[in-house]
Chain A
Amino acid sequence: MWDLHANWRRVRGVLFSRSADEDLREAIGGHLEEAQDEYMRRGYSPVDARRAALRDFGGVTQAIEAHRDLRSLPWLEAARRDINQAVRVMSRKPAFFLATSLVLALSSAVALASFSAVHGILLRPLPYVHANRLVSIKHDVGGRQLSDVGISSGLYFHYRGNARTVEEIGSYDNRAFTLQTPEGNARLTGASVDAAFFRVLGATAVAGRLFTDEDGAPGFMNLRWTIPIVISHGLWVQRFGRDPTIEGRIVTLGDNQRVIVGVLPEGFAFPRPDTQVWMLMEMSERSAQLASSFSRRALARVRAGLSTSDVAAELNHLIGSSAGRVSGATPEAINELRISALVSPLKDEVVGDVGRVLWPLALSMSALVLMGTLNAGALFLVHAEQRRHEGLVRLAMGARPVQVRRMCLAEAAMVTLTAAAASVWFANVILQGFRSPLFELPRASELSIDWRMLVGALLLAVIQAVCLAGASARRMASGDLSCLGSGARGTDNRRAVRSGNVLLAGQIGVAVCLLVFAALMGTTYHNLTRIPLGFSPTDVVALDVTLSNRLADRHSTTFQELIDRLELLPGVQSASAVSSLPLSVTEHLFPIEPAGEPVAFKFFVPGYFETMGIAILEGSVPATRNVASDKRPVVISRTLARRLSPEKTAVGNIIPRLGRDGALLTLPNHKDGRVEAVEPFSVVAVADDVRDSSLRQAPSPIVYVPVTTPPVERSIVPTNMVVLLRTAGPPSLTVEAARREVPAVSPGLTVGQVRTLDELVARETWREASLAMALAFGATASGVLALVGIYSTVAAITRRRWHEIAIRRALGAKPAEMMAMVSLGSLRPTLLGLSLGTVGALAGTRALSSILYGIGPTDFGTYVMVLCVFLAAGALAAAVAALQATRCDPAATLRRISA
């Protein structure tokens, strides 16, 4: 313990050696004056007394030196000297210090932010108990052409009762709720979950409790029972002011009373990052069917030591053996449905396909780190060249090579550590950008620079410092003093040229790689934006409007009235409403042929096709709200029309009404209660195709159902509609007026999210756009640096061969020949760099291939274009630098040589 204290005092002595020296001098001064006083008391003259005091004391300098040796730590002393020297050097060259630090900081920051995103989103376990054992269970139902769908109630209870590979299984579904408060209504994102849901995730409540099995036990739905809900930490803070007595509070969601039983901890974000309300919903075991709707999703916790494939194997076995144990499961039905279970880690479900963007982005950005280090290396070489004289003088004066290397290391470490600190700050700024809702990144709230990234930045700084110092020291301590006077020559010079060429080739290689990636991504983005959408998004704004369930019967008239009023607003050219927008999730999917693939049903208020700018190819769309009572007219998309009647017009076709299970839909007759088949749809028009699911997917078949009288059956009436306004100018002015108009039509109407269709379309391509922009930024930065590299190489060759150029000129060589002679010096590293870059790009584009659209990863034209552009730019840079050779005055140069 005391050794530690002594060592600390030694460290302090080294760090504050000046003050320790002053301290000692003062103590010795006091000593000598005391001694002098005593001698004077004995009768000595002041001079003699001083002399006698000094004699008794011995050597003052020796005492100070001995004192200094004792309190010093040799290695720390040397490090302090090196650091002081580095600070002096860098303060004399602030431009060099800033340029190298900035190059390193920016390149590292981009990589640091990308890897933080990869780590935070893709690699870090989900923030739940036993996160690595959580899985999502989905199904393929081959017999119904359904893939990657949720779970049926029959299978859910079958698994719950019999699966041994999972400890717990829960189910959930995304929902939206309207919270009614005296201050106004608010749209909340929510989920309906069962009691097991929170147990699977191992969640605990910060206030109140979570759902228990008793909450949803059969038979306790009596008149006094209110469905319990759990709320998010954010909602608790914002809406309920962190009320600790929140448990038992009754709130109105939609038109129903719900009781809040608990609050989830901060950061709990499942199934969606923005879920605010979890409502208890247990499936009914009594009415469970093997092939009921597969819309509900399932998650489970796997038993320790078992894998997802073990679970999948067991579940598939359970499906095969469900005959007689699950209602509706007969051997024939099992064979016909061809259900197979898909089990994947829950993290994959949460994260989705964002890895397809993040991994290539992070890998490309690491190339930028390499580029930054290479460039800083080039700058350090120039710096070392300038200080070579100093290095060689030090060596000639007896300094050991290790001292020169240590000095270089201190300078390099000063630059790289400053850069590392700045890069952490820059990376944090970039991560804040990633957290913006614009990117819609999963787990964005969890993104941060954690200690791993700090350690990584520090390690990177150390590696960079060692590399830069190595290159710098080699240059500074190479050769001897004799080679300085006449300029660098001989093998030493050739080595410098070779290392410069390797650096240049590396830079060109990285630049070519990034240029190819950027060109491929740019083309992908361009191809995506050129896809015909089938509608015109410009100047159209969309408002989510929800109608209270208790007013669902008045759905048609309410929305008609709303649209009629909105059309009268100034600046509104046309208005309409639809149940789901293109490029969004469609909730209403129904088969139209037995055993056929489900088709999207979109409910629209007349005027939809004009507002959206969707062309009507055949027939005419019902324009009024009242149609003949015996007809249920619909419009279908061109893809569906081709499928229904490939040869002739689809207008007049009849579309039968089928349930989700493919059976003919029947409903009790209002008059006498007899069960009858629901009136089929009759096609009255064919609309042009629109990109409905995503830009990359071919147009899907759609049935457009007008919201007219008579209405379709109550069970499928959409109370959530999207109101569309086509405006004469920027839509922002109209939105506020529209918001005021909505509650005036009916107090049961609530406005939710507002966005323009341009934003909706841009969201489809943000990944490609941001990746293309990041790559283009990297490619431009590295391209410019590589061109500067070519320029400096040729300029250096010109300076080196200046005497030779003068002699050749004197002998009659033409300026153009001289330009060619010096320019060719950069040809070899350029060609080497281009080859390296091409090979690197061919290897790297594999990672990008899954995200490319309309262009292959080895697209010949792109590679040729990039190489040609780079060759041309390189030739130009070389030519500009070689112009110096033409300015050589042979007579003056030769006179100088002879002098």
Chain B
Amino acid sequence: MGNRQEVVRGTLGLIILRTLDTMGPLHGYRLARRIEQISGDRLALNQGSLYPALLKLELEGAIRAYWDASESGRRVKVYALTRRGRTRLRQETAAWRSTTDLIARFFASGETQ
């Protein structure tokens, strides 16, 4: 637990979109747990910070929210990716890959010297 990593600033939105794309619609707790599990419990996610991020994505039209019942039959708010969100995910994934490739090149060139 001691080496858990903070979420890199500005990436939570992309993480949420990616998770919803993979897992389909999820309610808040399930989404938070899923993100933690995918990160192998390396990500120190403050679950409460998910909600402002979800609202931001909802306002931007990338996701939509609706009330539904959870597996335990409890009334929960469920978040699902929209078409706009899917497009955005594609664009941001490409941009992220290009950035990490670029950074990786720098590190690679440093190691060869």
Q: Is the CB of B49 within 8 A of A63?
A: yes
Residues from chain B with Cβ under 8 Å of A67 in the complex: 51-52, 55
> Is A481 positioned at the interface, with any CB of B under 8 Å from its CB?
no
Number of residues on chain B facing chain A (CB within 8 A): 25
Could you give, for residues 52-70 of chain B, a 1 whenever the CB lies within 8 Å of some chain A CB and a 0 otherwise?
1001101111000000001
Q: Is the CB of B52 within 8 A of A33?
A: no
Could you give, for residues 396-409 of chain A, a 1 whenever the CB lies within 8 Å of some chain B CB and a 0 otherwise?
00000000000000
Q: Is the CB of B59 within 8 A of A34?
A: no
Residues from chain B with Cβ under 8 Å of A71 in the complex: 55, 59
Separation of A70 and B54 alpha carbons in the complex (Å): 11
Q: Is the CB of B61 within 8 A of A62?
A: no
B40-95 interface with A by 8 A CB criterion: 46-49, 51-52, 55-56, 58-61, 70, 72, 74-77, 84
A30-B27, A71-B55 known; A6 vs B60 contact (CB < 8 Å): yes
Separation of A57 and B28 alpha carbons in the complex (Å): 11
A5-B61, A6-B60 known; A26 vs B75 contact (CB < 8 Å): yes
> Is A160 positioned at the interface, with any CB of B under 8 Å from its CB?
no
Could you say which of B33, B52, B84 has the most chain A C-beta atoms within 10 Å of its C-beta? B52
Nearest chain-A residue to B61 (Cβ)?
A2
Separation of A35 and B61 alpha carbons in the complex (Å): 28
A6-B61, A35-B29 known; A57 vs B47 contact (CB < 8 Å): yes
A27-B28, A63-B51, A67-B51 known; A33 vs B74 contact (CB < 8 Å): yes
Could you say which of B47, B48, B56, B77 has the most chain A C-beta atoms within 10 Å of its C-beta? B48
Could you give, for residues 4-37 of chain A, a 1 whenever the CB lies within 8 Å of some chain B CB and a 0 otherwise?
0110011000000000000110111011111101
Q: Is the CB of A57 within 8 A of B48?
A: yes
Q: Is the CB of A70 within 8 A of B52?
A: yes
Separation of A70 and B59 alpha carbons in the complex (Å): 9
Q: For the complex formed, measure the closest distance between the CB of B5 and the CB atoms of chain A, giving whole angstroms.
A: 16
Q: Is the CB of B27 within 8 A of A31?
A: yes
- Majority DSSP secondary structure for residues of B touching A: helix
A2-B61, A6-B61 known; A31 vs B47 contact (CB < 8 Å): yes
Nearest chain-A residue to B28 (Cβ)?
A31
Q: For the complex formed, measure the closest distance between the CB of A439 and the CB atoms of chain B, giving whole angstroms.
A: 58
> Is A59 positioned at the interface, with any CB of B under 8 Å from its CB?
yes
Residues from chain B with Cβ under 8 Å of A57 in the complex: 46-48
A30-B29, A67-B51 known; A58 vs B46 contact (CB < 8 Å): yes
Q: Is the CB of A30 within 8 A of B74?
A: yes
Q: Is the CB of B28 within 8 A of A30?
A: yes
Could you give, for residues 146-189 of chain A, a 1 whenever the CB lies within 8 Å of some chain B CB and a 0 otherwise?
00000000000000000000000000000000000000000000
- Counting residue pairs across A and B whose Cβ atoms lie within 8 Å, the total is 78
A6-B60, A34-B70 known; A27 vs B76 contact (CB < 8 Å): yes
Q: For the complex formed, measure the closest distance between the CB of A9 and the CB atoms of chain B, giving whole angstroms.
A: 6
Residues from chain A with Cβ under 8 Å of B70 in the complex: 30, 34
Could you say which of A5, A24, A30, A31 has the most chain B C-beta atoms within 10 Å of its C-beta? A31
Residues from chain B with Cβ under 8 Å of A38 in the complex: 29, 33
Separation of A227 and B25 alpha carbons in the complex (Å): 83
> Is A56 positioned at the interface, with any CB of B under 8 Å from its CB?
yes
Residues from chain B with Cβ under 8 Å of A66 in the complex: 49, 51-52
Separation of A63 and B46 alpha carbons in the complex (Å): 10
Separation of A56 and B59 alpha carbons in the complex (Å): 26
Separation of A70 and B30 alpha carbons in the complex (Å): 23
- Majority DSSP secondary structure for residues of A touching B: helix
Q: Is the CB of A28 within 8 A of B51?
A: yes
Separation of A26 and B58 alpha carbons in the complex (Å): 17
Choose from B33, B56, B72, B77 the contact partner of A70 (Cβ within 8 Å). Answer: B56
> Is A675 positioned at the interface, with any CB of B under 8 Å from its CB?
no
Q: For the complex formed, measure the closest distance between the CB of A53 and the CB atoms of chain B, giving whole angstroms.
A: 9
> Is A87 positioned at the interface, with any CB of B under 8 Å from its CB?
no
> Is A60 positioned at the interface, with any CB of B under 8 Å from its CB?
yes
Could you give, for residues 10-44 of chain B, a 1 whenever the CB lies within 8 Å of some chain A CB and a 0 otherwise?
00000000000000000111101100000000000
Separation of A34 and B56 alpha carbons in the complex (Å): 23
A56-B47, A58-B47 known; A34 vs B74 contact (CB < 8 Å): yes
Residues from chain B with Cβ under 8 Å of A23 in the complex: 77
Q: For the complex formed, measure the closest distance between the CB of A378 and the CB atoms of chain B, giving whole angstroms.
A: 48
Q: For the complex formed, measure the closest distance between the CB of A20 and the CB atoms of chain B, giving whole angstroms.
A: 9
Q: Is the CB of B75 within 8 A of A30?
A: yes
Residues from chain A with Cβ under 8 Å of B76 in the complex: 27, 30-31, 34
Separation of A34 and B61 alpha carbons in the complex (Å): 27
Could you say which of B51, B60, B61 has the most chain A C-beta atoms within 10 Å of its C-beta? B51
Q: Is the CB of B29 within 8 A of A60?
A: no
Separation of A70 and B58 alpha carbons in the complex (Å): 11
Choose from B49, B59, B77 the contact partner of A6 (Cβ within 8 Å). Answer: B59
Nearest chain-A residue to B70 (Cβ)?
A34
A6-B60, A57-B47, A63-B48 known; A31 vs B55 contact (CB < 8 Å): no
Residues from chain A with Cβ under 8 Å of B74 in the complex: 30, 33-34
Separation of A35 and B48 alpha carbons in the complex (Å): 12
Q: Is the CB of A63 within 8 A of B61?
A: no
Q: For the complex formed, measure the closest distance between the CB of B78 and the CB atoms of chain A, giving whole angstroms.
A: 10
Q: For the complex formed, measure the closest distance between the CB of B9 and the CB atoms of chain A, giving whole angstroms.
A: 15
Nearest chain-B residue to A27 (Cβ)?
B77
Separation of A70 and B51 alpha carbons in the complex (Å): 10
Separation of A35 and B74 alpha carbons in the complex (Å): 12
Separation of A813 and B23 alpha carbons in the complex (Å): 95
A2-B84, A6-B61, A58-B46 known; A34 vs B72 contact (CB < 8 Å): yes
Separation of A71 and B59 alpha carbons in the complex (Å): 8
Choose from B51, B60, B72, B84 the contact partner of A24 (Cβ within 8 Å). Answer: B51
Residues from chain A with Cβ under 8 Å of B49 in the complex: 58, 63, 66
Separation of A69 and B52 alpha carbons in the complex (Å): 9
Q: Is the CB of B60 within 8 A of A2?
A: yes
Nearest chain-A residue to B30 (Cβ)?
A34
Q: For the complex formed, measure the closest distance between the CB of B106 and the CB atoms of chain A, giving whole angstroms.
A: 35
Could you give, for residues 791-803 of chain A, a 1 whenever the CB lies within 8 Å of some chain B CB and a 0 otherwise?
0000000000000
Separation of A26 and B67 alpha carbons in the complex (Å): 10
What are 7 A-to-B residue pairs whose CB atoms are below 8 Å? A6-B59, A34-B74, A62-B48, A63-B49, A66-B52, A70-B52, A70-B56
Rank and list the top 5 A-B pairs by shortest CB-CB distance, nearest first.
A63-B48, A58-B48, A34-B29, A58-B46, A30-B76
Known: A23-B77, A66-B49, A70-B52. 12 other contacts (CB 8 A): A5-B61, A27-B77, A32-B29, A34-B30, A38-B33, A56-B47, A59-B48, A63-B48, A63-B51, A63-B52, A66-B51, A70-B56
